[in-house]
């Protein structure tokens, strides 16, 4: 089956399974989404959502965050992975936003210049806060793209390019969330039975099934 045909069938299946695509990170505006996505690195969304209510109560805007001491920020987010570095980045990121005018704006160069913000975080904010087509690639998406034969899994940047080529641009903003939901519910990284998976069972190659299942 050709990649484009396979992607079309997968897209249809995901649309059936996940007609609604709520963002799994709690937020109220582009800034709080930016903070939540930045915090989610090396941490579950569930843990981020447990921490951010207290953080946003103390500092729900760049102006408020810039006034907090790094130690105070760290004390609030200490249960999150890489908390010391993230606390420093949150403070510096707030200062950078204030230096730029005080708001989070839909500009790739601006977002990716912020402390602690990489391409994936910028992609989430661009797509979910501003509706600009983007295809953020996290560990779930990277894994499933390789399993389904939509990318060779060489690296995240290659996976992003391949998925953008495979799916229509108008679907990107919901498709990346649908793949995340599917990965969490049906396609775990370990001890996954590809032969019983709703998508891997037909989309994965026989070679991939043998490699992962040892049969």
Per the annotation, the verdict on 138 as an active-site residue is yes
| CA distance linking residue 173 with residue 52, whole number of Å | 24
3-state SS, one letter per residue, for 39-102: HCCCCCHHHHHHHHHHHHHHCCCHHHHHHCCHHHHHHHHCCCCCHHHHHHHHHHHHHHHHHHCC
Catalytic one among 15, 88, 109, 138? 138
Catalytic one among 120, 158, 162, 206? 120
> Who's near 60: CB < 8 A, 6+ residues apart?
28, 31, 32
The number of helices, as runs of H, and strands, as runs of E, in the chain is: 13, 0
First CA to last CA distance, the chain? 23
- Residue whose token pair is 């990277």: 142
Per the annotation, the verdict on 29 as an active-site residue is no
User: Other C-beta atoms within 10 Å of 34: how many?
Assistant: 25
- Residue whose token pair is 């810039």: 66
Active site residues: 120, 138
């Amino acid at each position: 089956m050709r990649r484009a045909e396979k992607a079309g069938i997968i897209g249809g299946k995901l649309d059936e399974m996940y007609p609604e695509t709520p963002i799994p990170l709690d937020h109220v505006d582009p800034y709080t989404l930016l903070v939540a996505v930045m915090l989610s690195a090396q941490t579950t969304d569930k843990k981020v959502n447990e921490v951010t209510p207290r953080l946003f109560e103390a500092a729900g805007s760049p102006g408020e965050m810039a006034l907090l001491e790094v130690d105070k920020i760290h004390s609030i987010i200490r249960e999150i992975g890489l908390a010391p570095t993230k606390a420093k980045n949150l403070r510096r990121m707030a200062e950078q936003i204030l230096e730029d005018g005080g708001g989070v704006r839909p500009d790739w160069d601006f977002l990716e210049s912020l402390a602690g913000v990489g391409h994936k975080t910028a992609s989430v904010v661009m797509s979910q806060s501003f509706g600009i087509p983007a295809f953020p690639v996290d560990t779930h998406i990277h894994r499933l793209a390789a399993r389904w034969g939509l990318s060779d899994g060489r690296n995240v940047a290659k996976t992003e390019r391949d998925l953008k080529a495979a799916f229509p641009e108008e679907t990107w903003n919901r498709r990346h969330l649908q793949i995340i939901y599917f990965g969490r519910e049906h396609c775990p990284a370990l001890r996954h039975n590809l032969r019983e998976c709703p998508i891997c069972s037909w989309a994965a190659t026989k070679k991939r099934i043998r490699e992962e299942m040892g049969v």
